[in-house]
Structure 1
Amino acid sequence: MASSFVLPHELHGSGPHKVVAVHGWFADRGAYAPVVPDLDRSAFEYALVDLRGYGGARDAGGTYTTAESAADVIELADRLGWERFSVIGHSMGGSVAQRILALAPHRLRRLVGVSPVPASGLPLPPEQWELFAGAAHTPENRRAILDITTGGTRPAAWLDRMVERSVAVSDAKAFRAYLDSWAGEDFHDRVEGATVPALAVTGALDPALSADLMRATWMDWYARAELAELPACGHYAMDETPLALIRTVEDFLRADGPHV
């Protein structure tokens, strides 16, 4: 049960605007490490979380779905005393963020997806599905996915390091189960028409979670949607262009003023 489990997390900052940051499929909360030193700690307080099957929750049981993850995040917000908060989600974490919108729209100040998986899921052709499904147990598949989604432009050593980190911080069974959830589940009818301000940040070098895909999904569903494309970036903005990401996201977050 979500109510009996506390997501491992770390807090940064002491500002009045509370923000939960949810990692993607390939990483734990360490995915946000490149941006942590330069966050605005006076305006925001960030909670970086590990989902079940990752990092400090690597051995935690569960169904390993985006819906379960969303319930876990809301439970953590309750324990932190955060009645209202914003959420940032990268890739799979973007799906989790939209699940939170579906579950508790009144709790959210603002929603940010960084290369977010749409709430409609991400149907993959058979060859791609085989590549992604095999990534749970085959590091070479993870490396190929990293290379493809960063436009084939990143150094080999970085790809290797990202793969090593991904394998080290994720449980293979959970990793594989999450794929079925984020790629295969369509819940966009539960969020369509939502009025929470919602920013999608994409990387121009990412062929999968592209600005065009966001225009056909995110921008169409959300009444107060915005789209920002980072020109020299692929799927992993935290690593590839951390300063541009911080500026884009925090400018959006502070746009609703200092009120809680």
Structure 2
Amino acid sequence: MVPLAPLPHTLIGTGPHRVIAVHGWFADRRAYDRILPDLDRETFSYAFVDLRGYGEAMHRTGAHSTAEGGADVLALADALGWDRFSLVGHSMGACVAQRVLAAAPARVRRLVGLNPVPAGGFPMPPQQWELFSGAAEFPGNRRTIIDITTGGVRPAAWLDRMVAQSQACSDAKAFRAWLDSWAGEDFHEAIEGAGLPVRVVVGELDPALGAEVMRATWLRWYRDAELVVLPAAGHYPMEETPLQLVTAVEDFLRADEPEPESAQ
């Protein structure tokens, strides 16, 4: 059987610290475009990936689950020759990153979750579930979700742009399938007690995945976890506060000890 080609990706930087960044439910790898010009390309090498059903992988078939996504990210690391790397995951993408950690803990240096979904899933009451499950079909649902999770303070044109980008970069059936996985699956026992350094970055304006949820999940389950709150951000800090986000992520990653040459 011919192996599936690695996930489509963009490589940025030539530094010795390798980092794989995973996008969330509403975007492909272009979610990170606003931070690309300001990354430290001498310290880090970044790989920004498209998950199945998104971007250049929009028509790639599969289960569209976080476990499958984690296996795909590991396969990309293998294709790049990256034995050890750090992970950055936004929202749903943080579940994928945690699946990588669960499958190959010795390969992960540091983990950053950006407004991240916990490994315990994201249970919703019926009305909220109806809103989210209908987002695959109805653009208005997507707009409402983005508006609520950014504090209801963003311009209408920005909300419209975010919705249009989300629709253009994702396959509707895959988008819906991903929801069942990231919201409904509980695999926290597979990562609970992990001792690697973890930083959780959340936007103060995000009422869904904010500091309170992180303290009850991420900060309880990881032994070396810390929380950073960005005051002017909601659920999309890459768009809302890009410079503050770069500082929060790279200062944390930069604190790691250099890898031995044989491990890079």
Q: TM-score, normalised by structure 1?
A: 0.98
Q: Superposition pairs for residues 114-193 of structure 1, below 5 Å?
A: 114-193=114-193
**Residues 5 and 72 in structure 1, CA contact (< 8 A), matched pair in contact too:** no
Q: Given the alignment of the two structures, is residue 204 of structure 1 paired with residue 210 of structure 2, yes or no?
A: no
Please give the per-residue CA displacement for 1:86-105, whole angstroms capped at 9, x wherever unaligned.
01000000111111111111
Q: Which residue of 2 aligns with 1:238?
A: 238
Q: Superposition pairs for residues 210-249 of structure 1, below 5 Å?
A: 210-249=210-249
**Residues 64 and 177 in structure 1, CA contact (< 8 A), matched pair in contact too:** yes
Structure 1 range deviating more: 2-11 or 240-249: 2-11
Distance 2:57 2:223 in 1: 35
Q: What residue ranges of structure 1 are gaps of 5+ in the alignment?
A: none
Distance 1:3 1:103 in 2: 19
Q: Given the alignment of the two structures, is residue 64 of structure 1 paired with residue 69 of structure 2, yes or no?
A: no
Q: CA deviation at 1:2?
A: 11
Q: CA deviation at 1:210?
A: 0.7
**Residues 2 and 72 in structure 1, CA contact (< 8 A), matched pair in contact too:** no
**Residues 66 and 178 in structure 1, CA contact (< 8 A), matched pair in contact too:** yes
- For this pair of structures, how many residues does the alignment match? 260
**Residues 21 and 46 in structure 1, CA contact (< 8 A), matched pair in contact too:** yes
Q: Which residue of 2 aligns with 1:252?
A: 252
Q: CA deviation at 1:249?
A: 0.4
Q: Superposition pairs for residues 11-30 of structure 1, below 5 Å?
A: 11-30=11-30
Q: Show structure 1 runs of 4+ deviating over 6 A.
A: none
Distance 1:216 1:58 in 2: 34
Quote the sequence identity (%): 66
Please give the per-residue CA displacement for 1:25-68, whole angstroms capped at 9, x wherever unaligned.
00000000000000000000000000000000000000000000
Please give the per-residue CA displacement for 1:157-196, whole angstroms capped at 9, x wherever unaligned.
0000000000000000000000000000000001000011
Secondary structure at 2:34 match in 1: coil
How has the CA–CA distance of structure 1 residues 3 and 228 changed in structure 2, closer, same or farther, with 3 Å as cutoff?
A: farther
The AA in structure 1 aligned to 2:210 is S
Q: CA deviation at 1:258?
A: 2.7
Secondary structure at 1:35 match in 2: helix
Distance 2:247 2:258 in 1: 17
Q: Which residue of 2 aligns with 1:52?
A: 52
Secondary structure at 1:93 match in 2: helix
Distance 1:164 1:113 in 2: 25
**Residues 10 and 49 in structure 1, CA contact (< 8 A), matched pair in contact too:** yes
Distance 2:72 2:165 in 1: 24
The AA in structure 2 aligned to 1:247 is T
Aligned-pair RMSD on alpha carbons? 1.1
The AA in structure 2 aligned to 1:61 is T
Q: What residue ranges of structure 2 are gaps of 5+ in the alignment?
A: none
Q: CA deviation at 1:257?
A: 2.8
Q: CA deviation at 1:256?
A: 1.1
